[in-house]
Amino acid sequence: MGIAEQKDIDCTYALAGLTVTETQDFHVQIELTVDGANGLAYQHADGDFHFVALTMPDNSSRLPLANRKTEQNTFLVLGKVQGSSTQLLRKIFVGKTLPGAWAEMQVSRQDGLVKAAVKLHERDDRQAVYLCFREKDHRPGRLALLTGKATGAFHNVRLDKTAGEIRQRWRLFPGKIRMGVRIDNPE
């Protein structure tokens, strides 16, 4: 796949479905731009979906031109959309990077355990940041690329229909990996 782009900054959520059958377990690797909320929607059915997104509240579509060359706070977010309601389930600070910079994200799900990780860019001092969450309501659904409240671009999307090891699959920026992994189990 070349570069897939979404350029409408006024769109609340834009989904680009991946041409695969519905799946419950999966491993997806994506290279994406950091701008607004970009990531992966999964368990997509009847307009509802769960998502993992790399978010930048002060993104290039919202910043004055002079501030676009300043690194901004970036977060890894897991949530779900039901109807017109968005619920954030987890949010962790990733680091600072420039609006529009490329990052690499991996999302893996097996038996309701979602593992997500992101690397911001090629600087060797940047480590992967991980987020784990056990879902109570996991079921099969479609997968889609997601943008929210800003523009976004994606390329080199790789998909496996089984969950996989994240640490061994970094493509763009191999290097240090932060070992602190938080696993949340709401049960």
Locate 174 and state its tokens.
Answer: 């191999």
Q: What are phi and psi of 176, to 5 degrees?
A: -70, 145
What are the residue boundaries of the structural domains of the chain, listed by start?
4-184
Q: Which residue has the higher pLDDT, 8 or 103?
A: 103
Q: Which amino acid is at 11?
A: C
Q: What are phi and psi of 109, to 5 degrees?
A: -135, 130
The pTM (predicted TM-score) of the whole model is 0.78
Q: Tens digit of pLDDT for each residue in 24-83? A: 888 989 888 888 889 998 988 888 899 999 998 866 555 555 566 788 899 999 999 998
CATH superfamily of 4-184: Exo-inulinase; domain 1 (2.60.120.560)
Q: Mean pLDDT across the stretch 102-112?
A: 91
Q: Which amino acid is at 103?
A: A
Q: Please write down the HEC assignment for all residues of the chain.
A: CCCEEECCCCCCEEEEECCCCCECCEEEEEEEECCEEEEEEEEEECCEEEEEEEEECCCCCCCCHHHHHCCEEEEEEEEEEECCEEEEEEEEEEEEECCCCEEEEEEEEECCEEEEEEECCCCCCCCEEEEEEECCCCCCEEEEEEEECCCEEEEEEEEECCCCCCHHHCCCCCCCECCCCCEECCC
Given a contact cutoff of 8 angstroms between Cβ atoms, the answer to whether 75 and 92 are in contact is yes
- Residue 131 pairs in a beta bridge with 116
Q: Tens digit of pLDDT for each residue in 128-176? A: 889 999 988 888 888 888 888 777 888 888 888 777 777 666 665 444 3
Locate 50 and state its tokens.
Answer: 């769960």
